[in-house]
Amino acid sequence: MTTRFPFSAFPNGWFRVAYSDELPPGGVKPLHYFGKDLVLFRTEDGKPQVFDAHCPHLGAHLGYGGKVNGNTIQCPFHGWCFDRQGECVKIPYSTKVPPKAKIQPLPVCEFNGLIMVYYHSQSEPPSWQMPGFPGWNSLDWTPFLRKSWKIRTHPQEMAENAMDTAHMLYLHGQSFRAIEKAEFEIDGTVLIQRLRPKYRLSIFRELGIDAEGLVEISCYGLGIQVSYALVKTVIEFHTLTLFLLTPIDEEFLDVHVLISIKNVLNKAITNTLRSKIMAENSHNLHQDIPVWENKIYYRQPLLSEADGPIMPYRYWSKQFYSYLPEKKSSEFLSA
């Protein structure tokens, strides 16, 4: 329990911990997420795995000097080897392995260049899987441009920001007056908000282009937001923006923004547009950061009728927290 928020700093769900291209076969990387020291490695057959970092023997951190040996990771201190399930399968100087020689593995999946971990505060197995995103690697779309920040906030707040349509007008200066009522859809662990704006997206303001289109924001738990935007002007622009939010500790969040756009006209124009859209996103994020880093969380906020679907979002998000049996979830997230 954090002091800033009336719920755990670490909601349950899938979270990005690395990019695939950071980890070749045999690669080992120390990580620190969810307030824990972790080790990420890729076995020689190409599969990524994440363990609690410390060796059960005498506590060495496997991420500093540990080596992949076939499909095991070998501790740098005395050479004990652990298979993908975390079982110790070899002690180089002993024929017997103590039965308790095991490290806790975390569920991992890899898709579209992302390595994701399923975090659960009670170490329960994943109750849902990440859907595939078949369009992401298509040749019609650019590779993702990436940028990252360390921000003193909570994934609950950053995802709520996407529901808070009123702040887009006021804080970010976007004209949402012509927006039709947002469509809001919940399918288990996925929440989708669809906006059909008729406005000038600020990215096009200096070009003087009126735009109308569709913005569809999909939240997959609290760690992944995928925002697809279609902007229709003389031609059509399609943008995919990923916000990947992983709690580092009780205070800070690792925030990654990835942008891909569908090819338009030629490569130079496409890449210029992609950079401009990243610059616009960064600009917006820098307007949000001082608010996030200093705000407090009201369980029962005073909302106007024209605010976005903040309370339905909060109600949906309750499923990602484990509550102590003696506490009711409504004490944490009033809806």
Please provide residue 19's backbone torsions phi and psi, each rounded to the nearest 5 degrees. -100, 150
Q: Which of 6, 37, 60, 101 binds ligand FES (CB under 6 A)?
A: 60
Tokens (6 digits) for 111: 């898709």
Q: Which of 25, 46, 47, 58 binds ligand FES (CB under 6 A)?
A: 58
> CA gyration radius for the chain?
22
Among residues 80 and 220, whose Cβ is nearest to ligand FES? Answer: 80
Q: Does 78 bind ligand FES (CB under 6 A)?
A: yes
Site for ligand FES, residues 16 to 55, rule: CB under 6 A = 55
The SS3 of residue 99 is: coil
Q: Does 80 bind ligand FES (CB under 6 A)?
A: yes
Q: How far is the CB of 161 from Fe ion (least distance, A)?
A: 4
Give DSSP secondary structure letters for 200-264: --HHHHTTT--EEEEEEEEEETTTEEEEEEEEESSSEEEEEEEEEEEE-SSS-EEEEEEEEEB--
Q: Taking CB within 5 to 8 Å according to partner kind, which of ligand FES, Fe ion, none is near residue 288?
A: Fe ion
Interacting span for ligand FES (CB under 6 A) from 42-50, 70-78, 144-152, 259-267: 70-78
Q: Does 75 bind ligand FES (CB under 6 A)?
A: yes
Q: Taking CB within 5 to 8 Å according to partner kind, which of ligand FES, Fe ion, none is near residue 55?
A: ligand FES
Q: How far is the CB of 81 from ligand FES (least distance, A)?
A: 9
In total, the chain counts a number of residues equal to: 335
Among residues 237 and 243, whose Cβ is nearest to Fe ion? Answer: 243
Give CA separation, 70 vs 106, 303, 308, in Å.
Answer: 20, 57, 52
**Binding footprint of ligand FES, residue count (CB under 6 A):** 9
Q: In what order do the strands lie in the sheet with 48-52?
A: 28-33, 36-42, 48-52, 105-106
Q: Taking CB within 5 to 8 Å according to partner kind, which of Fe ion, ligand FES, none is near residue 67?
A: none
Tokens (6 digits) for 225: 């937001």
Cα separation, 36 vs 103, whole angstroms: 14
Q: Taking CB within 5 to 8 Å according to partner kind, which of Fe ion, ligand FES, none is near residue 8?
A: none
Q: Which of 19, 20, 37, 77 binds ligand FES (CB under 6 A)?
A: 77
Write the secondary structure of 259-295 as one string of H (helix), E (strand) and C (coil): EEEECCCCHHHHHHHHHHHHHHHHHHHHHHHHHHHHC
Interacting span for Fe ion (CB under 5 A) from 1-9, 54-62, 262-270, 281-289: 281-289
Instruction: Check: CB of residue 163 under 8 Å from CB of residue 183.
Output: no
Q: Does 57 bind ligand FES (CB under 6 A)?
A: yes
Among residues 249 and 280, whose Cβ is nearest to Fe ion? Answer: 280
Give CA separation, 56 vs 62, 83, 196, 234, in Å.
Answer: 10, 14, 54, 62
Q: Does 288 bind Fe ion (CB under 5 A)?
A: yes
Q: Which of 43, 49, 74, 161 binds Fe ion (CB under 5 A)?
A: 161
Q: How far is the CB of 119 from ligand FES (least distance, A)?
A: 24
Among residues 77 and 228, whose Cβ is nearest to ligand FES? Answer: 77
Among residues 87 and 110, whose Cβ is nearest to ligand FES? Answer: 87
- Upper half-sphere CA count for residue 84 (Cβ side, 13 Å): 13
Shortest Cβ contact with Fe ion: which residue?
288
Cα separation, 2 vs 13, whole angstroms: 18
Q: How far is the CB of 54 from ligand FES (least distance, A)?
A: 8
Q: Looking at this protein, which amino acid is placed at residue 61?
A: H
Interface residue list for Fe ion (CB under 5 A):
161, 288
Summarize as ranges the residues that interact with ligand FES (CB under 6 A): 55, 57-60, 75, 77-78, 80
